[in-house]
Amino acid sequence: MLNSRLRRQLTLRRVARDDAGLGMTEILVAMMVFAIIATTAAYGMLNALTLTSSTRSSETAMSIASSDLDQMRLAASVDDNGVFSVVSTTSPIPKTVGGKTYNVTRTVTWQTTTGTIGACGTGTGTLQYKNVSETVSWVANNGTTRSITMSSAIAPLSNINSDTTGTIIVTVTGAGGQPVPGATVSITPVAGGGGSALADAPQNTDIAGCSFGLLVDPGSYNVTASLPGGSDFYQNSVAIVTTISTTPVASPTNVAAGQNAIVNFTYDQAATYPLTYPAGAILPTNLPISFYHPTPGTTPFQSVTPPATVKAFPWSDGYTILGGKYFYTATTSSSSCLDTNPATWTTARAGDGALGVAPTPVITGPGTTAAPTAVPLGTLTLNGIGSTLSSKYITAVTKSTPAAGDPGCNASQTLSFPVLGTVTSVKLALPYGTWNLFYGNSSGSTTSAFTSGMLTGQVGGTVVSGNAILIDPRVP
């Protein structure tokens, strides 16, 4: 009886304990297990979605690249010259698909028979086909940039070369080394040079700055490139290479039948350079303005009166602009003329140790206008000259023996001033250097030399002796 009552009490206690529910520990454990399972499931779902999105974007990018390649093949198949319209992109082309933007970049190079690769074709091997590489990039959902690349070879519709003719490849690059598109190219045979007119005129330069003369009979040719408002670095409005020969002789510019001749032009839109001169001074009518750059050397600009503006090839590192003739030679030469450039006055002046200061190069871009530039010149004011110079012409001639410290001008200059009216004082502008002064009844006359009395009271310049005066750029 006792045992039966005890078993009943234990059973009631067990039921009471079970009805009390889960403890805090059990709840926390259960929640943690659920969180792990849920996180794992969510990560798996997110990763699957990401992979699906990435795969979809990759497939779209490949479709875009493939479509562009098909368009290039179609362009190349239009006619024999169609392959020349297959060119690189200058900047990415955006395409939007499904709300996502894809950027397409196309790189095109020529493949030649010698294995060389270049935008226009290089070396002596004949042009075979074009290598086209398509890169499509996009921004993935995680913010990273992804891309795919597809490549293909695109051949011309028919042979663009033959065993009996050559090809003239023309490249046009600008002042900064960039390709210049749209330049008009002409290739004409030199009379008596064995060549003949091309069946098809070369096209204007493409985006890569390339143009081609195809099926060129062996012989000699003139090749030109031009743009409205253009200039080469020799300041020619039309860039010219004379006598390009396709006859197989030993010369870097010659090419045998079945080979290429390469013509490279550096040519760009000319820049405008406004010039200013010393205020109130009379200028020589035949004063050359020298634009100096190390590559071509000096280009003199000269007109009936000194030019107010000059148009010139826009070197990216600019020009040293000087008044008068300037011609640099590394060693002493009869053609050198240095003293018009203040930078060449490197001998310290007695008394104050003054030296010449190099002019700041003038820089501007293609087709743009530079800030006005003061042409480096000295001035000489003659006072109390009475009627001696009235209605006369003044002439300045480089002194054969320059004054101390003057680097000299072996290529003598003769500068002519316009006829004077009735004057008692006159202010002249002269390039730096040592000058003999003359006057007479006609322009350029050297019949009458200035006397020392005529140089008395001058302002600017230093009297050397007789009719010689030094115009010195050195400053303390």
- CATH class, domain 166-269, is mainly beta
User: Domain-by-domain residue ranges, the chain?
Assistant: 57-154, 166-269, 277-476
Q: Are 132 and 86 in contact (CB under 8 A)?
A: yes
- Each of the 476 residues of the chain gets a pLDDT tens digit; together they read 445 665 565 555 555 555 555 567 767 766 777 667 766 655 655 554 454 667 888 889 999 999 999 999 998 888 877 888 888 888 899 999 888 899 999 999 888 777 777 778 766 667 888 899 999 999 988 889 999 999 999 888 777 777 788 888 899 999 988 999 999 999 988 888 788 898 889 999 998 899 998 888 888 888 889 999 999 988 988 887 765 554 433 233 444 567 778 888 999 999 999 999 999 999 999 999 999 999 989 999 988 889 999 999 999 999 999 999 999 987 778 889 999 999 999 999 998 999 999 999 999 999 999 999 999 999 999 887 778 888 999 999 999 999 999 999 999 999 999 999 888 888 999 999 999 999 999 999 998 999 878 887 788 889 898 899 999 999 88
- The whole-angstrom separation of Cα 459 and Cα 430 is 13
Taking Cα atoms as reference points, which of 348, 374, 369 lies closest to residue 429?
374
User: Using CA atoms, how far apart are residues 144 and 50, in angstroms rounded to an integer?
Assistant: 13
pTM over 0.85: no
Cα–Cα distances in Å, from 312 out to 145, 289, 362?
Answer: 44, 12, 12
Strand 309-312: give its sheet, edge to edge: 309-312, 271-276, 373-374
Distance CA 228, CA 184 (A): 9
Angstrom distance (rounded) from CA 81 to CA 217: 18
Task: Tell me the C-alpha distance between 303 and 294, whole Å.
Answer: 24
Half-sphere exposure of 139 (CA within 13 A, CB side): 7
